[in-house]
Structures are given as structure tokens and as C-alpha cells.
Amino acid sequence: MPREANTRAASGAGSIRQRPDGRWEARVTVGNDPGTGKPIRRSIYGDTQKEVLTAMRDVLKAVDDGLYIEPTRLTLAQWLDIWQSDYLLSQKYGTVKTYKAQIATHIKPALGAVKLSKLTPHLVQGFYNDLLANGRTVPKRDKHGKIIKKKGVMVTETAPLNAKTVRNVHGVLTKALSQAVKLGYIARNPCDMVDLPRVEKAHIMPLTDEQVKAYLSAADSDNDYGDILKVILFTGLREAEATGLTWDCVDFKKGTVTVCKQLQKRPAEAGGFQFAALKNDKTRILRPAPFVMDMLRAVRSKQAQRRLQAGDLWQDWIDPAKQYAACRLVFTNVLGDHLHPQRLYAHHKKIAAKAGAPDARVHDLRHTFAVLSLQNGDDVKTVQENLGHATAAFTLDVYGHVSERMKEDSAARMQGYFENLKKA
């Protein structure tokens, strides 16, 4: 039953009630009509009383600070600027960078001039449909695949954007407009009423046994990046976790590797590369195979030798943020600096090509580790924990085809047991 809440804003500037549909509504005075002098009141909607109360207080603060913008005059571009400035402060650097890129590349050019109050589900749906058909710009090529140029300038054309990227754009726009709903700028989020494209399940490409053998052989010949690539292959570490691994996290006595941080790129003014929290903020302790620990011992010996050879030129890379100032990297270049992702990728591609897997990504080494683990008897929960996935369900979804093969092997083993039982 609809009811009036006891909560009221200071000086009677706002009130909250529950609507017949079960949602909550706050009525807020945001100013006075310059012609009549009568109060201008706005409605704020939300699913809970607490949500609406918080949004109401934010609006009233904006009014008091002289920062309130009448919703009918606020465009999507203006709101996105406000959202990026005020509501992404708690997000990770990489997340913010991705959001800003999606906004600048896709959302603002198409919908930036539209007023929030005029942004309908139909407009948003049309935007997504257009992205699917013409969402990216590519070089135009002739029938022989050669890039076409006119007066020395490359000719471009539009091409489809994949469904996953469209969904990512949708995620950013949804978050931004959800905050606008909380603040009362719009009553409903138009993104909640659109149809999204279906994303085809990504096809993982683990290396075959023959390719693994060839990859290891080629990696042995790469004195700069071979070590880290082999460790990624047999631990399942993410690239940034491997480049950010420090010696204090390697315990040779216990035979463990603690994964608690990663190395991420930051703006130059912030010091460039820095240590950052893990993808899911959850530390995990790995117990690699003994031969992997032997690899790490060899890396330590090589690093000590390089340090002696470099002399005064050796300089341990130190986290600019000073959060892990005492930590020393496991994988470095010949002078102690961190390894760069672009160079790691380039070295991997050369090694992968020699192994007969030219299309393999660095991340496919992680997939290979997962598949090998499952095929050699590890349960899904163990693989999940080693990889640092949030849930075992996610691991099972990614590597479910391997699990099916394991089921067949299990059935064959049971069949063998039954037949041997009959013979006994």
C-alpha cells in the first residue's frame, strides 16, 4: 500500500513517498520560477527509500552549491562529463580509461547532443543497431587487399562492430544513466528497455602437445622474454600478474608463489607503470610444479649475474606509487627495469610462429595451462583457484568442452572397471 515516509529534507525542501507501483519517489524544491516566484519541484525515483533519500540529498546539495542543472537543459554529453568527473573516482584506472574511450569513440559522437529528457529506448536501440552495422572505421582496400590512398591520404570506410564491444558500450551507458536516474535527472533508464546482440562464445586456442614442446624449445633461445613466457605457460598467470611478480612473493622453501598484485600502465604524469590490485582484488597462493620453481631459481641466478655485469648501470625498478617500494621484480630487462607488454607480445609472436601457432596470443598460454590441468586430472575448483577466476562456474563455462572430454574418460574408466570386475 502506498505510504508517505517520515523522512523530510531540511526546511521542508523535499519529501519522500512510496508510489502505488512499489517504487519510491522524492519531491524536491530546486528553485523558484523567475516569472511567478513559485517553487519549482522535481521528482526523484528509486527502488528503495534509502536510494531515493541519498539521491535527494545529492540534488539538494547541488542546488545549495549552485551546481544544479535543470534536466531539460542537460544533454547526454554534459551529463557524461559530470559522471566521469564525479562518479568514477573509486574505479580502477584501467576501468576509467576503458569507459572514457567508449564514451569518446562511440557514445558522444552519436548521442551526445541529445537531451537526457529526450533520450528514449528507441534512440538507444537505434544507436546499438548502427554500431553493429557501422561501428568502426577501417582502411578501404582494393580487390587485392591493398590499402587505397587518394593524394597520399588513406581512404576509410565503416565496418561492423562486434557484439561484445556493443555490449561493453551498453554497460558504460547504462551505468552513467543509472546515476542520472538516482539524481532525478530522468525517471527511467532507457538502456533497461533495449534488446542486446547475442555474443558468440569465444573459441579458445590452447596449444597442442606438439606446439607446447616446440614453444618451449623456441623460448629457451629467447634470453630476454623466454623465462616469463614459460612461467606463464605453466602457472596460468595473467600477463600483468607475471610482469608484476616480485621475489618476496616467491617462497622456495614452501614451493609457493603468491599472486597479490599486477603491473599496469598509468599516465606519464603518474609515473608510468605502477603496481595495481588484481582483477578481482583477491590474493591467491599457487603451488607450481617443482620444475616451475626450478625455472624461477634459474631466473634468480640469471638476474644476479646480470646485476654484477651491469654494475652501476643496474637500477631496480621501484613502484612510483611507493606502495610496494621494497619489492623487487622477478622478471626484468638486463638493467633491472620492468618488462614492457608490447615487447613481451612481440617476442611471444616470434616464439609462437616457430612453434607452429602464429595466431596464438599471450593469453592463450593461460588457456593452455587450464586445459592441460583439466586433462591431467585437476578438478574445476582447483583450476579456478589457480587461475583466479571469481567462480568455478565461470571456469566451467570457459573450459566446459574439456570437462566433456573428461566425462568420456571417466566413463571409459568405469567401463574398464566393470569389465575387469566380471573377469575376476
**Among candidate residues 158, 140, 160, 159, the one with its CA nearest the CA of residue 150:** 140
Q: For residue 166, name the pLDDT band (cuts at 50, 70, 90).
A: very high
Q: Is pLDDT of 183 > 70?
A: yes
Mean pLDDT, rounded, of the chain: 89
Distances (CA, A) of 292 to 44, 122, 289, 295, 361: 58, 55, 5, 5, 21
What's the pLDDT score for residue 222?
96
Nearest-angstrom CA–CA distance, 300 and 325: 19
Q: Is pLDDT of 10 > 50?
A: no
pLDDT digits (tens, 9 = 90+) for 314-325: 999 988 877 787
pLDDT digits (tens, 9 = 90+) for 193-204: 999 999 887 778
Nearest-angstrom CA–CA distance, 184 and 56: 8
Say which residue the cell 651491469 belongs to.
310
Domain topology for 209-411: hpI Integrase; Chain A (1.10.443)
What's the pLDDT score for residue 58?
87
What's the pLDDT score for residue 3?
52
Strand partners, 251: 256
Run of H or E residues at 76: helix 76-86
Q: What is the mean pLDDT of residues 159-164?
A: 90
Q: What is the mean pLDDT of residues 214-225?
A: 96
Boundaries of every domain in the chain: 1-68, 88-200, 209-411
What's the pLDDT score for residue 390?
87
Q: For residue 23, name the pLDDT band (cuts at 50, 70, 90).
A: very high
What's the pLDDT score for residue 71?
65
Q: Indicate left, alpha or beta for 240 from its phi (over 0: left) and psi (-120 to 50: alpha).
A: alpha
Cα 302–chain centre separation: 34
- Residue 290: count of CB within 10 angstroms of its CB: 9
In single-letter form, the type of residue at position 157 comes to E
**Domain 88-200 -> CATH class:** mainly alpha
Strand 4-8 vs strand 24-32: parallel, antiparallel, or unpaired?
unpaired
CA angle centred on 13, ends 11 and 15, rounded to 5°:
110
**3-class DSSP state for residue 396?**
helix
Nearest-angstrom CA–CA distance, 27 and 157: 49
What's the pLDDT score for residue 127?
95
What's the pLDDT score for residue 389?
92
pLDDT digits (tens, 9 = 90+) for 262-311: 999 887 666 689 998 887 778 999 999 999 999 999 999 999 999 999 99
